[in-house]
Structure 1
């Protein structure tokens, strides 16, 4: 599996897990809200309801209805129990059905429920109820009970009055089981359920901010992932194209470079044969530049994996190296620009720790950048070296070019990136990339000051080697 596919699989799996966790969290919040919904209202209704049926069952007058059916049959039932258990059970079921029917026929709990709601100062139109009877049993000795019926909340037969849709554990207001320990008595279990219309809608409205935040967060994460993946793949493709192009260009550089090397050797031989000493200075400049170009191309081939460990750090006289670097540049730009070099006399013996080739690349790129991107009639670059403190030297490279926009200052250090003002000149956009990398490798500091149409100043802070 490719790296991209693996990342996509991991990301999609993570998204699915995140969505499942969010669903579980929202579900838990919904359930908690259901339990808390109408909590205060239900407590008030429960209190008033239970007070209204003190010494009674199901609803006011319910005990009288139950007793009127069961009490006349206790003697008969007790005898049946002793003689024929099967017939006894059948008789109990018949009496149970009769009790339920009688309680339903004579129920008038709606009026009482309206009174309970009004006592709580609630809107009657918003509430619904269900009065449910789930157990009925009788005893002959006050100890052992014989069930006439036990009804599940899912069974509509237990509904005495009200709306069966309200019968749900979360809507329970009061659950009562009444029994006496005296002979020839009964046990009755009943419940009152109360609910507000559109409960689900009301709960969803209460958790709407949390719900919207969760959904928005997931959508934002998904959107950012796809945008990031798209940009990353696009950038990866561009990097591959740029790398292929750059490798091809540097490979093509090798052929003329080899020819220059051979020609330089032949030139030196001709100079020695003709004893033309004046040409040796130009020859040395060409030779140094060929060597530098050779190293630069080899380094450029590995620019995508710039390795700080490849730097060869050593102690150098900074002023001496800068003089030689700038001398080569003065020869190259002799008829096109003025390159000046100034430094404090007291720092000529100061040393610094750096890679000589990298310093050459650094200074050359900054100086030539100020000359290539310069439309002045007299192009100027001034290199100043001064000692800021006992520990640091500062190299300032001034040019009179057209400057660098603030919007370009961050991206000009990236590979193959150039400022808007530089689009009219040739180049691959690697000069300042190398500069930034070399500064990073040496752990120096680089500051940039620039003003449009007035020029640019690069300041490099270098530690002094004691």
Structure 2
């Protein structure tokens, strides 16, 4: 994983964590509003229920109505129970069904709830639900005998009124939950010939979620604004950082590239200097002149390298170009390179190099480009001798320069990444080859700057060819 990818991953992870924290805060805000809403409403309704209803067990008149069914008929219920051994008999079932129906018909909570809505300015969509959870009878032995249990289904009762919470005797609240419970009342004297009853009162708005959302909307909008602001700041900060890093990397790459090229002129100057110190060469005026010219050219190139290192801002596409005879420049580069190699096992074969075509170019860039191509041809060759064939063809529009070697060749994958910065092909047995992987990248940049084109062909074991079209 590259350094930039690591930074991106770290930044993205931090951003996701921040988003998660903000979403968690939004969720908690919503939950807090929800709880506060329930507490306020439930407290008012509980006071209303305890004051107006619970003393009468279910609602005003509810206690008397149940007594009229259960207490009045308790002996008959006991008799039927003893006969059948269960409270599930026709008499008991019929009595229970009629009692539940009358409890529903006489339910006055709707009108009472309207009053409390008005008095406390509650949401007009507030709904309630009263359910009977269970009823038990107590006969002579005072042992509670189940008459109704909300966990069971009774075929003689209306199925749509048998909810998971109990039998509905009033209200239209849909899907009541535990947190909607206003109060739950259990009553019974626990004496012979009596009954026990458990009633639960639920209250909530069927559109409570939207009501909570509206009440929490200012906080949610503020949080959303903060979230968008964070995204905005993150985006521009990361964009600015990426831009600065790219500029920094470009400067570093340029310095590395130029430093990589120092070795060529320095090596050539050292070899030429040693040659001049040779007694036989020193006595030959022509040889001394030839080597001093080489030293002068390489010194000038070295000076150019130093100038560009000192002023990185000069690296751009607007380079200075002059018209030169290309083949004359190519001859000089080959000559300097032969001196640099000083190796009988390296041979240059040229063809068409006497072409007089003039080309507008930057001498420094093109000289370095050709030297880099030669470097790769020599470094990645295991043949003896190592050969470089240079063919120059004139065309109606310019020149075609073919530089072919007899090296180890390249695979398709290597050709694909040949001009990437710092890329070095992994060739078995060539791990010792030195370099930063900037040479061919420099070649491609030079081709682009001059608006030339380049093609690469290679065969494993036979060598490679670089074709430059000017």
TM-score, length-scaled by structure 1: 0.48
